[in-house]
Amino acid sequence: MEQIDDLDEIVQVVEQSTERVYIRYSEGPEQDEEGPSYDYESGLELPGLSVTVLNPPAWWDRPTRDWVARRVCKYAELLQGAGDRRPWLLTGEVSGTGPDHEPLVVKPRPLAWIGSRALAQAVQVYSTRFDVARDSRG
């Protein structure tokens, strides 16, 4: 699988795809084929892979780049102390939602790995374009 090392290339993939594009943090598609995802709090098997949507919703009127950077950073903490876990892009069929309201995808179609340079760019955009850690209570 190819690797994308530039945030703008990820944005292009999202904008040009006819399907929803997702990001997943795991050891990769081959490892994910070996077994299901689990809800670690309940111990239940999930009916698909937990993913995060990279396509902005209809109400989003800022640049797609901002949305993608924010979503890439959403679960980046999963990389800390995670061994071989890496972020990758995919499409697939939604089979339901997980315990955190995230889509669960079956029949994943891998698109590309996300490289460390693109991750760093996403963190930079997220930290400069957003009021990070502010909540809706003002």
Structure confidence at residue 79 (pLDDT): 54
| 134 belongs to a structural domain | no
Q: Which residues contact 61 (CB under 8 A, 6 or more apart)?
A: none
| 22 belongs to a structural domain | yes
| 85 belongs to a structural domain | yes
* Residues pairing with 113 in the sheet: 3, 88
| 38 belongs to a structural domain | yes
10 Å Cβ neighbour count for 4?
A: 20
| 79 belongs to a structural domain | yes
Structure confidence at residue 104 (pLDDT): 96
| 76 belongs to a structural domain | yes
- Predicted TM-score of the model (pTM): 0.89
Confirm if 133 and 75 have CB atoms less than 8 A apart: no
pLDDT digits (tens, 9 = 90+) for 60-103: 999 999 999 999 988 776 556 556 788 999 999 999 999 999 99
Query: What's the chain's Rg over C-alpha atoms?
Result: 15
> What is residue 42's three-state secondary structure?
coil
Per-residue pLDDT band for 37 (boundaries 50, 70, 90) equals confident
Per the structure, the complete domain to which residue 120 belongs is given by 3-129
Angstrom distance (rounded) from CA 97 to CA 50: 8
| 73 belongs to a structural domain | yes
Angstrom distance (rounded) from CA 14 to CA 9: 9
Total number of domains in the chain: 1
| 135 belongs to a structural domain | no
pLDDT digits (tens, 9 = 90+) for 7-19: 999 999 999 999 9
